[in-house]
Amino acid sequence: MIVFDNVAKRYPGGYTALAGVSFEIRHGELVVLSGHSGAGKSTLLKLIPAIERPTAGTVLINGQDVSRLPRRAVPYLRRNLGLMLQESKLLTDRSVFENVMLPLVITGHPPGDAAKRVAAALERVGLGGRGREMPLGLSGGEQQRVAIARAIVNRPSILIADEPTAHLDPAYADEIAALFKSFNSAGVTVLVSTHDANLFAANKPRRLVLAKGLLTEGA
């Protein structure tokens, strides 16, 4: 489902974020990506939806070589992906409902069905009936739940999250981890980056560990 074959990513100025990374994630796996700050975790995740392109090597998603995907085809790739990246902040001038609706608006989803999907996604993350509220009126954990609802509203086959529990207290972090586990139990492939070594420990997930751009564990 997700295959990295000898992938490297170098930025202008000579900085190497990833060097010769190879691994395969199969359908339905729960995989935790860990490593020190600057290890290359965020770069690796951004290669999957073609936000970044590799300098060398191949990235395959469901058999499709996204490293060479034409720009016009990228939106179609992302329809099968649920993304929670660090740059994907909630829009504070829009309601919870409008925030979750955004991916469906972008893809031109029919409004009636889109509204039903938003309601179902909010219910799924424990925020049913709170669509009219504004993000700034929610707790940190609730805001993360809204971000998760936005990531799953298009019913993706792959869910990718970059440090989804950063800055949350342990109780909220455990709740968010339980949500991701529930999606995985329903058949969604989940790849989560985290600095918390104990997160998901009870679920005994497969782990990929990066150090200075090199995959040191989990290939």
Q: pLDDT class for 217, splitting at 50, 70, 90?
A: confident
Does 25 or 217 have the greater pLDDT score?
25
In the block, tokens 């200075």 appear at 212
Give the global pTM: 0.92
Measured CA to CA, the distance from residue 77 to residue 62 in angstroms comes to: 10
Please say whether the beta carbons of 138 and 146 come within 8 A.
Answer: yes
C-alpha 95, offset from chain centre: 22
Per-residue pLDDT of 84-124, as tens digits, reads 988 778 999 999 999 999 999 988 889 899 999 999 999 99
- Summarize pLDDT for 121-136 with one digit per residue, the tens: 999 999 999 999 999 9
Domains and CATH numbers, the chain: 26-53+70-217 (3.40.50.300)
CA distance 75 to 78: 5
